[in-house]
């Protein structure tokens, strides 16, 4: 995210079989971040428009969890004099936030947006206002497109602090001025919409907020991929990445990452372990605050020392292969007929000598074994029983002698 600190607003995923595909995938837990709404409360806004904007803000915030370790939100009124409706740490629950927004009253007065932005910069993203130093900061400015004073200098100062700026204009407004005021690129941070059509952009804006953060995807027992927004380029700086087991702070690992990167795969991690991750942008043009997140790896996967064709319960456990050798991580079933289907898997690293495909009907304890060269990533299983569910297990046999297996269910079709 353009804002400081941790990874807010991500939804936790799951691991399982979906449509014949077996794949481990989980995102980090929700959430944290400070969201400030700059609400046009001046006389240029009608009572009807003001009530529709309040409804829009409530809908935008509805899915979030609020509290000192989650999302916090606040409102500043744009009027003759900027006014705080409530500070960030006032309401620690969704119900309280919803009620507070519902009870917000319009102030009328002039549209001194520049003063409100300066007030936000000087007073609001501070400890006294309940803001937290180690989380992302987001400003959502809802406007009818009109301001009686200059917004450019204070808005730039906020962005220089690392605040991500989203603008929703319910009037005509000056496109060039608002495009310059919003965070870049404007197509992701600036919306022009009639006040009656605000619900149309609610999900899009919420998704844009949730996407602008450091987050983890493709989580397994020994790895996860970090993703973050483009904050630098190869010519403007580099990143320092730190990741540490939460219960072993003395084991901190550090990597330097090129400024043009927006993702990185971390391997060789311990299973069922929570890691604290810090991404530090080292810019040679401006200060960009660090981002942090916490990621918990999955449980260890079931491994087999030898595939037994007569009874799969005879598998014996032993240590998994090296993280960089892991395969397969994904199985896909396709081309199903009454008596056959294709099994495909990925990846296929050079360290794999061969794949053993074990398949048998469910229920049952018998299975057949087919061996496939390590350079291939699919095979067709034939002479199967129609309208039958099969358990298919693909095991990679490594040059080191170690093995790794992954299973998926597959069904033959029900008729000729």
Q: 105 and 165 in one domain?
A: yes
Q: 151 and 137 in one domain?
A: yes
- What's the whole-number average pLDDT of the chain? 79
Q: Over the stretch 35-66, which tens digit does the pLDDT of each residue have?
A: 999 999 998 899 999 999 999 999 999 988 88
pLDDT for 365 equals 60
Is 10 domain-assigned?
no
Q: Across residues 379-406, what is the average pLDDT?
A: 84
Range from 26-35, 90-99, 192-201, 308-317 carrying the lowest mean pLDDT = 308-317
pLDDT for 115 equals 93
Q: 239 and 224 in one domain?
A: yes
Higher pLDDT, 374 or 307: 374
pTM: 0.53
For residues 9 and 66, the answer to whether their CB atoms sit within 8 Å is: no
Q: Over the stretch 102-151, which tens digit does the pLDDT of each residue have?
A: 999 999 999 999 999 999 888 767 777 788 876 778 899 998 877 788 88
Is 164 domain-assigned?
yes
Is 87 domain-assigned?
yes
Residue 254, pLDDT above cutoff 80: yes
Q: 391 and 354 in one domain?
A: yes
Q: Across residues 19-27, what is the average pLDDT?
A: 32
pLDDT for 142 equals 92
Q: Cα(214)–Cα(119) distance, rounded to whole angstroms? A: 28
Q: Across residues 360-378, what is the average pLDDT?
A: 83
Q: How many domains does the chain have?
A: 3
Q: Across residues 217-244, what is the average pLDDT?
A: 85
Residue 243, pLDDT above cutoff 90: yes
Higher pLDDT, 4 or 158: 158
With CA atoms as reference, report the closest residue to 385 among 368, 408, 407.
368
Is 12 domain-assigned?
no
Residue 26, pLDDT above cutoff 50: no
Last residue of one domain, picked from the residues 166, 196, 211? 211
User: Domain limits at 402?
Assistant: 312-411
Residue 60's φ and ψ, nearest 5 degrees, are: -60, -40
Q: Over the stretch 323-368, which tens digit does the pLDDT of each residue have?
A: 445 778 788 888 888 899 999 888 888 888 899 898 888 766 677 8
Q: 44 and 141 in one domain?
A: yes
Q: 180 and 257 in one domain?
A: no
Residue 377, pLDDT above cutoff 60: yes
Q: 265 and 360 in one domain?
A: no
Last residue of one domain, picked from the residues 239, 270, 296? 296
* Residue 322 banded pLDDT, cuts 50, 70, 90: very low
Higher pLDDT, 27 or 149: 149
Is 182 domain-assigned?
yes
- C-alpha neighbours within 13 Å on the C-beta side of residue 371: 8
Q: Cα(382)–Cα(385) distance, rounded to whole angstroms? A: 9
Q: Across residues 229-248, what is the average pLDDT?
A: 89
Label residue 247 exposed, middle or buried (CB < 10 Å: 0-12, 13-18, 19+): exposed
Last residue of one domain, picked from the residues 248, 271, 296? 296
Q: 81 and 50 in one domain?
A: yes
């Amino acid at each position: 995210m353009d804002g400081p600190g941790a990874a807010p607003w991500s939804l936790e995923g799951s691991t399982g079989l979906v449509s014949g595909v077996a794949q481990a995938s989980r995102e980090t837990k929700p959430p944290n971040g400070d969201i400030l709404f700059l609400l046009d409360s001046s006389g240029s806004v009608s009572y009807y428009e003001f009530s529709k904007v309040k409804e829009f803000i409530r809908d935008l915030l509805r899915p979030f969890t609020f509290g000192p370790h989650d999302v916090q939100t606040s409102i500043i009124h744009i009027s003759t004099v900027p006014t705080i409706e409530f500070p960030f740490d006032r309401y620690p629950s969704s119900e309280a936030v919803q009620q507070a927004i519902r009870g917000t009253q319009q102030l009328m007065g002039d549209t001194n947006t520049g003063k409100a932005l300066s007030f936000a910069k000087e007073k609001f993203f501070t400890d006294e206002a309940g803001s937290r130093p180690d989380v992302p900061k987001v400003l959502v400015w809802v406007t009818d497109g009109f301001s009686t004073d200059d917004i450019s200098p204070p808005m730039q100062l906020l962005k220089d602090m690392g605040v991500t700026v989203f603008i929703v204009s319910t009037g005509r407004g000056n496109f060039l001025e608002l495009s310059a005021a919003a965070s870049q690129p404007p197509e992701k941070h600036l919306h022009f919409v009639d006040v009656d059509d605000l619900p149309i952009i609610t999900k899009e804006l919420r998704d844009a907020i949730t996407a602008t953060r450091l987050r983890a995807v493709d989580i397994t027992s020994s790895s996860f991929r970090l993703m973050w927004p483009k904050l630098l380029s190869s010519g403007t700086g580099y990143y320092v990445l730190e990741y540490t087991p939460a219960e072993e702070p003395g084991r901190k690992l550090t990597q330097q990452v090129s400024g043009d990167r927006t993702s990185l795969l971390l391997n060789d991690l311990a299973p069922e372990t929570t890691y604290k991750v810090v991404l530090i942008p080292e810019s040679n043009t401006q200060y960009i605050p660090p981002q942090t997140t916490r990621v918990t790896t999955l449980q260890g996967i079931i491994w087999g020392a030898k595939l037994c064709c007569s009874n799969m319960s005879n598998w014996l456990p032993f240590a998994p292969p090296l993280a960089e050798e892991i395969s397969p991580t994904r199985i896909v079933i396709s081309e199903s007929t009454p008596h056959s289907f294709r099994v495909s898997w990925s990846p296929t690293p050079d360290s794999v000598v061969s794949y053993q495909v074990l398949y048998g009907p469910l229920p049952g304890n018998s299975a057949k074994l087919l061996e496939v060269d390590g350079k291939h990533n699919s095979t067709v299983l034939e002479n199967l029983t129609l309208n039958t569910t099969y358990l298919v297990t693909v095991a990679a046999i490594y040059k080191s002698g170690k093995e790794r297996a992954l299973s998926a269910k597959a069904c033959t079709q029900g008729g000729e």
